[in-house]
Amino acid sequence: MPLEMIAITVLWIFLYGYIIVAAIDFGAGFFSFYSKLTRQDHIVNSIIERYLSPVWEVTNVFLIFFIVGLVGFFPDTAYYYGTALLVPGSIFLVLQSLRGSFYAFAHYGARDSMAYLFVYGVTGLFIPASLAIVLTLSEGGFIEQQGDRIILLTDRLLTSPYSWTVVFLALVSVLFISASFLTFYADRARDAAATRLLRSYAVGWSLPTIFASFLVFVSIYRHNPEHFSRMLDVSWLFLLSFACFLGALALQLKKRWYGWAFVLVMLQFAFAFFGYGVSHLPYLLYPYITITGSITSPAMGLALVIGLIAGLFLLVPSLILLLRLFLFDAKYVQGKHSPISK
């Protein structure tokens, strides 16, 4: 396999890992605020807090690996995306800082403050919306090169139907993924009331998610027909994604096997995400950057591949250990003790 294909595959795995882990985290924060707003916090907030406490600080590790690897493998991305994403990237950093700060305020300080929970919950939805801009820009038509300058066509970006459908998909996907996992988590805790409420969230956000996915398909067809035609070449991946969605929804409706339902949700997004990525190749940014034209030197690329794969083999077992110590420890899930106190 060529070096550039190995590089983009490893990077795509990191990005997929970030999407799943961060979606659960962001959605949990929003549901924490929403349950407080609807006075149902006594039902679900103990479950949500037991999940967030050990996990919220590690979600960005996947993103850091992805960004470092992307710039290292494909230096041209720093030039094009770095200029275009100056404002959206700054917004992301501000939102991330606000979210981290207000998490500490809301959970370790003023626990009853609706304002703190509001900032924490809502920023968790704005962050994926700001990150979705990267996928939007990669389709081309929003960045223009004028001599040595890279110009972000902000007016075109803000008025593009494709741009807003991607943002819509990011928002509803976060809530669907998070609710699906938290339903499984509540079921493991044998908390029937929390399971019932979180299951209603998962079912409620399932149809908007699949509807948003359909809108993105239509928007890509209109915005970038070349990419859409290549998506049809790997349509079997998207059909598998839809089949996994139907399976997950069926298990949710039958009120059983919530763990398998979440596995199907992860597979749903894996098939769709990798189908999108494969059909996007060889472009990283239409029409300026391709994986073959912007790859770094072979020696540098090989070192990065080894480093990132080593990081992946270090990160995944660490995450599994974290899950076993906290999230999948039966007594901890049920709120009986902290594993650290063993």
The residues, ordered by sequence, that sit 6+ positions from 287 with a Cβ below 8 Å of its Cβ are: 140
Answer left, alpha or beta for residue 265, where phi above 0 means left and psi between -120 and 50 means alpha: alpha
Neighbours of 115 (CB within 10 A): 11
Range of the structural domain that residue 184 is part of: 3-341
pLDDT at 342: 42
- Residues β-bridged to residue 149: 146
Question: How many domains would you assign to the chain?
Answer: 1
Q: How does pLDDT run across 70-121, given as a tens digit for each residue?
A: 888 888 787 777 777 776 777 777 877 777 666 666 555 555 667 777 777 7
Other residues' Cβ atoms within 10 Å of the Cβ of residue 270: 18
pLDDT value for 29: 82
Q: What is the model's pLDDT at position 248?
A: 94
What CA–CA distance (Å, rounded) separates 319 from 59? 10
The whole-angstrom separation of Cα 276 and Cα 225 is 14
Tell me the whole-structure pTM to 2 decimals. Answer: 0.87
Q: Say what angle helices 258-280 and 235-254 make with each other, to 10 degrees.
A: 160
Q: At what angle do helices 161-188 and 41-55 cross, to 10 degrees?
A: 100
List per-residue pLDDT tens for the chain, 342 residues long. Answer: 677 788 888 888 888 988 888 888 888 888 888 888 888 777 777 777 766 655 556 677 777 878 888 888 888 787 777 777 776 777 777 877 777 666 666 555 555 667 777 777 788 888 888 888 888 888 888 888 777 777 888 888 888 899 999 999 999 999 999 999 989 888 887 878 888 889 999 999 999 999 999 999 999 998 888 999 999 999 999 999 999 999 999 999 998 899 899 999 999 999 999 999 899 888 888 888 888 777 777 777 778 778 877 877 777 777 777 666 666 655 555 555 554 444
Confidence (pLDDT) at 115: 73
